[in-house]
Amino acid sequence: MSRDQKLILASGSPRRLDLLNQVGIRPARLMPMDIDETPKKSEHPRSLARRLSTEKAEAAYGAISGDLAWRNSYILSADTVVAVGRRILSKTEYMEEASAALHLLSGRGHWVYTGVCLVTPGGQFRQKVVETKVRFKRLSTREIEAYLASDQWRGKAGAYAIQGIAGSFVQKLVGSYSNVVGLPLYETALLLNGEGFDVAAHWAEG
């Protein structure tokens, strides 16, 4: 396929953009979608990740539907959910929330689910949910307090970003590391290539 293929990233996450750039993908447009991310009653974390990524893709698709300049674009969206069992740990905005989440994660395993949704130029929706199991070491009070002071927990699902200081908390990880950062690269590239988007088109440019 030609190099002029357009990809819209329906996310404002700098981490997802960095991950795409890592594998040579430069989105032509960023379209963060403001949707209600509140889980439904008894909704499984995996189902939530799938639903939110789909709703973001649908919103972006609707926003460009009448714009001829973007008619033949691909749209990629994603949403990451952190959970202990069926208990969903939302994005933390307050220190008390972050402290509670870190105490819950301390010394135990949890799951990270990322829903990925791709809309093709023909309007077909392709979806994938990737899961990774992460186990934290037992965190001391000192470590939790120092991490809270770093402010790296703010706005993060589960109150941590694995690519930052919290990477030192991870005792064991089973599955995709990039999934925990926010976008599973292997599965995302597989979706794109499977629908005719040439992921490797710009690799020779470095």
Name the nearest CA neighbour of 167 among 189, 137, 202, 203: 137
Name the nearest CA neighbour of 75 among 14, 23, 33: 33
Residue type, 68: L
CA dihedral of 75, 204, 18, 66, whole degrees rounded to 10? -20
Name the nearest CA neighbour of 76 among 96, 93, 53: 53
Name the nearest CA neighbour of 54 among 121, 116, 8, 129: 116
Q: How many CB atoms lie within 10 A of CB 62?
A: 10
Residue 79 annotated among the catalytic residues of the structure:
yes
Integer Cα distance of 104 and 107 in angstroms: 8
Integer Cα distance of 9 and 102 in angstroms: 30
Q: Which of 4, 18, 67, 79 is catalytic?
A: 79
Integer Cα distance of 193 and 196 in angstroms: 5
* Residues tagged active-site: 79
